[in-house]
Amino acid sequence: MGSYVPNTQEERQAMLEAAGYESMDDLFRDIPEEVKLKGGLNIPAGLSELEVKRKMQSIAAKNKVFPTIFRGAGAYRHYIPAVVGSVTSKENLQTAYTPYQAEISQGILQSIFEYQTMICDLTGMDVSNASVYDGASAAAEGVAMCRERKRGKAYISAAVLPYTLETVKTYCFGNGMELEVIPEKDGVTDVEWLKERLAGETACVLIQHPNYYGNLEPAEEIGEAVHQVGGKFIMSVNPISLGIMKTPAEYGADVAVGEGQPLGLPLAFGGPYLGFMAATRAMMRKLPGRIVGQTKDRNGKTGYVLTLQAREQHIRREKASSNICSNQALCALAVGVYLTAMGNEGLERAASSCMSKAHYFAKRLGEAGFELENRGEFFHEFVTVSEKESGRALQALEGHGILGGLPLDDHRILWCCTEMNTKEEMDEAVRILKEV
């Protein structure tokens, strides 16, 4: 049986004696016997570096890289300008972490401040934090920060990403908030169902726009309804879509959240990604995590500081709004570089390209027997329905090096197009599907 503890038995015994103990059993004598591990851990013996490398290479060899991708569902393939990797790979940025004496790391703090500024510009909100772990945790933190003494009920649309829904459920289970799922109707949130149930105890309503199925939600109507009862309106958004769509602020959102992966981060088996969060000035003091502010030192020089930290390590635990203790600094740096490189015009062009290509592909798929499920407006994702089996259709595409959409069931597929997809790729996919 192997061990992950690097110390020798002699070293362990020396440390025990220095601490005044005779044995490991003596060290842990206050722990009840019934909770102690019996028989040790079933860990395989250690391997050499060469053996580990060979094992990992054999696992990696099972991966298949598709040159053409029509799948999104929360993680998207976008073009990443070369400057993003060039900047983030610099040793002094790649390895740096904001220390507890944060003001020493002025360069890192400046990069985070600039990231926050761009997120505010992107969402139209007043303040942004320095990112949380991913889009799902950002949504859950957004719900948690809306809780008030007399308002403990949250509503979440059924048309959000499934893992966002599960994460919010987990948070609410832990913090005691009551959560109710708003059913979908015709591919969007059922507004009438929601209006009938909104009341004075409503803390917030969370929707995703565009939603899981790619459809645009009646966001303005939902926002007005929740504000009429005094609740908060949370929007989870695709940041690329904001290049051509109204900002969360323009829809009346109190909190804007989302997954930052489309902004310069590659597809990487689920991460690391980052969750961006932004809010109105009224919600500023409830934002979790790290917020960097700009100030001047006693000599009048510009400086950056951590401010408005609401985590449990800085205030009384029962008063803390979150236990988020870190941020995705390197990922946030990549997002900042991406947004700087793209600029407003570049982001608009990328968003326009995504939307126009998705609409072209949706039209062409209809020729192959894959009809749009919903007739509402969509951004760059959409659901098709076909008499043809989803599995057979997607398998046929994979045989030609194409990763098709995400199968929702035997006859429904969620497709996605980005600026990376060419007309030739879309036409080829349609040709293959016609033969299924």
Short-list 417, 404, 431, 403, CA closest to 359: 417
User: Domains, the chain, ranges and CATH?
Assistant: 9-58 (no CATH), 68-77+345-434 (3.90.1150.10), 82-338 (3.40.640.10)
DSSP tag of 387: S
Task: List the structure tokens of 253.
Answer: 């959102």
Per residue in 364-393, pLDDT (tens digit) is: 999 999 999 998 999 999 999 999 999 999
Q: Is the pLDDT of residue 283 over 80?
A: yes
Per residue in 254-265, pLDDT (tens digit) is: 999 999 999 999
Beta-carbon neighbour count of residue 88 at 10 Å? 20
Contacts of 306 (CB under 8 A, 6+ apart): 98, 102, 103, 109, 290, 291, 292, 293
Whole-angstrom Cα distance, residue 217 to residue 138?
A: 20
Whole-angstrom Cα distance, residue 342 to residue 418?
A: 15
pTM: 0.88
Q: Is the pLDDT of residue 99 over 90?
A: no
**Bridge partner residues of 189 (DSSP):** 184
Per residue in 394-428, pLDDT (tens digit) is: 999 999 999 999 999 999 999 999 999 999 999 99
Long-range contacts of 421-427 (CB under 8 A, 24+ apart): 421/68, 421/69, 421/70, 421/357, 421/361, 423/357, 423/360, 425/68, 426/357, 426/360, 426/361, 426/364, 427/364
Question: Mean pLDDT for the chain?
Answer: 92
Per residue in 9-37, pLDDT (tens digit) is: 899 999 999 999 999 889 999 999 899 88
What pLDDT sits at residue 364? Answer: 98
On whether the CB atoms of residues 222 and 233 are closer than 8 A, the answer is yes
- Helices 390-398 and 423-434: crossing angle in degrees, nearest 10, is 130
Task: List the structure tokens of 430.
Answer: 């349609």
On whether the CB atoms of residues 251 and 235 are closer than 8 A, the answer is yes
The three-state secondary structure class of 188 is strand
pLDDT interval class at 314 (50, 70, 90) = low
What pLDDT sits at residue 271? Answer: 83
Whole-angstrom Cα distance, residue 371 to residue 354?
A: 19
Please give the full DSSP string across 29-83, using - where no structure is assigned.
TTS-GGGS-SS----PPP--HHHHHHHHHHHHTT----SEE---TT-------HH
What pLDDT sits at residue 107? Answer: 85
What pLDDT sits at residue 26? Answer: 93
Beta-carbon neighbour count of residue 173 at 10 Å? 10
Mean pLDDT of 125-137: 94
What pLDDT sits at residue 93? Answer: 79
Mean pLDDT of 212-223: 97
Mean pLDDT of 213-240: 97
Mean pLDDT of 255-277: 93
